[in-house]
Amino acid sequence: MLYDTMTAEKRPLALLEPGRCGLYVCGPTVYDMSHIGHARAAIVPDVLVRALRATGLAVTYVRNITDIDDKIIRRAAAEGVSPEEIAARYTEEYHRDLASLGCVAPDVEPRVTENIDGIVEMIGRLIERGLAYAQDGDVYYRVARFAEYGALSGRNLGDMRAGARVEVNERKDDPLDFALWKGAKPGEPAWTSPWGEGRPGWHIECSAMSRRYLGETFDIHAGGRDLIFPHHENEIAQSQGACGHGTFARHWLHNGFVDFAGEKMSKSLGNFFTIREVVALYPAEALRFFILGVHYRSGVNFDVEVPCPSCGAPLSAEVQQHGGTCPSCQAALDLDELRRGLRFPGLEEADERVAAIYDALARARAFVDGVGPAPPSGDPSAAIAGMLSRFRAAIADDLNTAAAIAALSEPLRELNRLLSAKKKEVDPGLRYASAARFLADFSAVSEQLGIFGAEPALYLAARRDQKAARRRLDTAQVDEMVAQRDRARAEKRWKEADALRDALASMGVLIQDGVVSSTWTL
RNA sequence: GGCCUGGUCGCCAAGUGGUAAGGCAGAGCUCUGCAAAAGCUCCACCGCCGGUUCAAAUCCGGCCCAGGCCUCCA
């Protein structure tokens, strides 16, 4: 079951061809570093693709790159380089970011500049069919001619005219018409067309590229909520208008926004965060876990905390974004310094949870590997045996990753209980079968979520190193203090051992005592 | 002004007709030299009012509140 924006209800996926699924996702305009909103808009389809493939479907995953656009041209002009260079640079950065987030690559990643012929051809058809008109080197779509315009976003032309805030453009016959082709100004990148030198409007590219790779009708079209209008509405008008038949995408899937500190993300300083900078602060898996902890159609909010560098008092959003003086200690605040102290409490919680799960996986792995050559036979506990089917049922119900993740908690608790129970208190067959089953089924969970796929011990070590580096902690010194404490403990010098633990605690180091030696975390 | 979401435990968050998943925080306990980790136990009648129904957080109406889209935007 998937929610379809067009019908505004959940319904079973209605595939064009049994066993195959075509998915088109609106990708980024590559003119700057990608932000957390882009991360969500990539992670949601990523989880969808994983889910579809897990059910055995052959998915063709297409995600475009918009590599020519006003913003790219502006950026290029500002830096004195070519638009191609800007697009190439940020395409590469985008790929790096998504790889760091563990997103599977699309099967096809078409660029606008490689599809100009298809775009020109489609515009030509729209003109032939009387749905578009050329005007002084531009071409516009005549919205009033497309009867279904507004179906996706639940509007009609009358509503839109009533509240029109559309800028005046005397070339358009109707303010609601939108550009299919923009005549080039001197010095701008341009391609030849029957209407003169120019470049495509923003919306036509997706119509042309989805048609080329998926056909005139395909299964699922995905993107951020903000694309519903006008972008996807316009795509429908273009594609159905040019092809002359009724269905463009059979399902429309739109993900919600990312907010920071309760406010819509915007480029104004303070509530705009790139994937790169967040992943430098927290493990990428924690970011994925946090995002997937909320249903994809809802908004997800990142709390932002910025402590005063001098006194540690939390600062208000106003001061965070514009600087000034600390209300508590009056210290002058430097914006760069504030940025370095940035914290996302929600991500910290997610990070702890991911680490706790890895910790359980590590213990389960150690236990299973440590059992001798003839493991006792038995059945896994009910909670563990039922985990995967509950998890999958939640995913299958409109990609409810939040419910799916919640379904892991009881089995996880069960696993921990069995692993830590005293030998005599638990049936060895049950224990072994449960741990083995948990590990086996959890690999399917990890495959679905794109989380928990790392070797647990390596993940935990890397995480500790990252945190230590962030705090500029001398790990060699910590190791030495821990070793010293182990010696004190072995000789039952409890006071000394406790003093060392307190000293480590003041450095933010948590000790976990083992039988012979202790480990530490941050 | 038009269109559209959402208001569920201190915080985050599932749940679209049958008497509220999960996480974090909190309280008590087990384990521990003391801790930590892990585990056990406890912890909500779902914004307000009215209606439909045997039965509503879930459906309908009204109200209050928050947010989004209508302009580039994931």
* ipTM of the shown complex: 0.96
| Confidence band of A308 (pLDDT split at 50, 70, 90) | confident
- Which nucleotide does the CA of A25 lie closest to, via C1'? B74
Q: How long is the CA A164 to C1' B37 vector, in angstroms?
A: 60
DSSP one-letter code for A113: G
Q: Determine the average pLDDT of the residues in A19-39.
A: 96
Residue A406 sits at φ, ψ, to 5 deg, of -60, -30
Whether the beta carbon of A268 falls within 7 A of nucleic chain B: the reply is no
Residue A379 sits at φ, ψ, to 5 deg, of -105, 145
What's the CA gap between A513 and A501, in Å, rounded? 10
Letter for the amino acid at A301?
Answer: N
Identify the weakest region by mean pLDDT among A5-14, A22-31, A290-299: A5-14
What pairing do the DSSP bridges indicate for beta strands A263-264 and A258-260?
A: antiparallel
What's the CA gap between A76 and A293, in Å, rounded? 38
- pLDDT at position A322 is 73
- pLDDT at position A515 is 83
Whether the beta carbon of A226 falls within 7 A of nucleic chain B: the reply is yes
Summary mean pLDDT of chain A = 92
- pLDDT at position A384 is 97
Measure Cα distances from A42 to A51, A181, A289, A401 in Å: 14, 28, 14, 15
Q: How long is the CA A222 to C1' B53 vector, in angstroms?
A: 39
Q: How long is the CA A157 to C1' B59 vector, in angstroms?
A: 31
pLDDT digits (tens, 9 = 90+) for A81-129: 999 999 999 999 999 999 999 999 999 999 999 999 999 999 999 999 9
Contacts for A104 with CB less than 8 Å, ≥ 6 apart: A46, A49, A50, A61, A450
Q: Give percent above pLDDT 90 in chain A.
A: 77
DSSP structure string for A354-390: HHHHHHHHHHHHHHHHHS-SSPPP----HHHHTHHHH
Number of other residues whose CB lies within 10 A of the CB of residue A53: 16
> Cα A518 to the chain's mean position, in Å?
37
Measure Cα distances from A389 to A50, A383, A403, A406 in Å: 16, 11, 12, 13
Whether the beta carbon of A271 falls within 7 A of nucleic chain B: the reply is no
What pairing do the DSSP bridges indicate for beta strands A218-224 and A249-255?
A: parallel
Q: How long is the CA A390 to C1' B55 vector, in angstroms?
A: 27
- pLDDT at position A501 is 94
Whether the beta carbon of A76 falls within 7 A of nucleic chain B: the reply is no
Residue A497 sits at φ, ψ, to 5 deg, of -60, -45
Q: Determine the average pLDDT of the residues in A465-488.
A: 92
